[in-house]
Every structure is written in C-alpha cells, then in structure tokens.
C-alpha cells in the first residue's frame, strides 16, 4: 500500500505565525521538523497548542518518561500507526529502554513490573473502548498510581490516540 500525504507539507520557509517558533524549536532541539508538524502547520494555532500539550504530557512529570513512551508505543501499535510506532521506538531507545523491554510491551506484559503492566493494560482498555474500562483496571491502577499520575497516563493515551489518527487520516509518514 502506498501512502500519500493528503495535504501539502509545509516547508521551513513556509511556516507562518505561531508555527514559526515551533519549527525553530524542532530544528534547534532535534535538527529537523517532523512531518506531522509540517502538516499541522496549515493551522498554526493547532500546531502550537498541540505541541505545548505534547511537551507537557510526554516531558518530565509525575510518571517516568520511559513508561509514558511505552504507553505511547502500545497505543500506536494497537492503532496500527506505523509512523508513531517508529517514533515511539526511537524515543524509548533514546531513554534507554532495551529491545527486550520493548518486546514485552507488545507481546508479554506479564514479565513487566506491576506498575508497567497495569499502565499497559489501561492504555489498551482506553484505546479499545474508553467507556468500558473494567473496574478492576481502575482498582489496580489506584494501587500503583496517584490521581495526578493517572491523569498524566490518560493524557498520554489520549494524545497518541489523537496523533495516530491524525497521521493515518492524512497519510503522514516520515521522509
């Protein structure tokens, strides 16, 4: 299957308004602007707002970053977003997550720590049907996480459900 981006990719010189400093931050911190940001830049306010939410959610917080990226990976795998699977794998490696630990997220969560297991189970339940998350998942989640951490986990799950669908709907793939 050939994937074609459904909208024009905004180049660095085409960024306007609040998209310009977002592009510059990407260039300064990672050397290039990711494709999803180039597409989202058609609506600079959406890009700037999403990027602020992304940094607040996936950056340092109440939940370890590697755990949040494991959750993002699981959500992206469940949704079949090849672009986001690649991004989450790269981020986990950057954070020191081993190939074996990545495999566990995908195939054998029983070998993970109890707090990671329940976070992955929660991500799967929310992604599949947020209205029908089993009560026992919430009960176990509350054993390992406080309210702020549960909100942060839920934000990471929601964030990646959004960006997975955004990328897939618009055919966004890395260059």
CATH code of the domain containing 74: 1.20.1290.10
**pLDDT at residue number 174:** 77
- Residues 74 and 160 both lie in one domain: yes
- The count of other CB atoms within 10 Å of the CB of residue 145 is 20
Q: What gap in Å lies between CA 172 and CA 166, rounded to an integer?
A: 8
Q: Is residue 92 part of a domain?
A: yes
**pLDDT at residue number 116:** 97
Boundary residue ending a domain (40, 58, 76) = 58
Total count of domains within the chain: 2
Provide the whole-model pTM: 0.94
Q: Is residue 175 part of a domain?
A: no
**pLDDT at residue number 166:** 97
**pLDDT at residue number 1:** 45
Q: Which of 81, 129, 121 is nearest to 104 (CA)?
A: 121
User: Who's near 46: CB < 8 A, 6+ residues apart?
Assistant: 40
- Residues 45 and 96 both lie in one domain: no
Q: What is the pLDDT of residues 3-14, one digit of tens each?
A: 567 899 999 999
- Residues 80 and 130 both lie in one domain: yes
> Which regions of the chain are under pLDDT 50?
1-2
- Residues 97 and 143 both lie in one domain: yes
Q: What is the pLDDT of residues 17-44, one digit of tens each?
A: 999 999 999 999 999 999 999 999 999 9
- Residues 89 and 125 both lie in one domain: yes
**pLDDT at residue number 95:** 96
- Residues 39 and 120 both lie in one domain: no
Domain range for 82 is 65-169
Q: Is residue 7 part of a domain?
A: no
- Residues 32 and 78 both lie in one domain: no
- Residues 47 and 115 both lie in one domain: no
**pLDDT at residue number 175:** 72
């Amino acid at each position: 299957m050939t994937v074609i981006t459904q909208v024009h990719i905004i180049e660095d010189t085409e960024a306007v308004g609040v998209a310009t400093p977002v592009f510059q931050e990407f260039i300064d911190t990672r050397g290039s602007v990711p494709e999803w940001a180039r597409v989202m830049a058609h609506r600079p306010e959406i890009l700037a707002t999403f990027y602020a939410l992304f940094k607040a959610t996936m950056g340092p917080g109440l939940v370890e970053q590697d755990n949040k990226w494991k959750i993002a990976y699981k959500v992206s795998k469940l949704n079949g977003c090849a672009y986001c699977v690649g991004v989450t794998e790269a981020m986990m490696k950057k954070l020191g997550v081993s190939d074996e630990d990545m495999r566990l997220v995908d195939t054998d969560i029983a070998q993970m720590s109890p707090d990671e297991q329940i976070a992955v189970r929660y991500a799967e339940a929310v992604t599949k049907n947020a209205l029908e998350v089993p009560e026992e998942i919430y009960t176990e989640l509350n054993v390992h996480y406080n309210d702020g951490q549960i909100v942060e986990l839920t934000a990471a799950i929601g964030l990646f459900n959004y960006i997975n669908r955004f990328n897939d709907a618009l055919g966004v793939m890395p260059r």
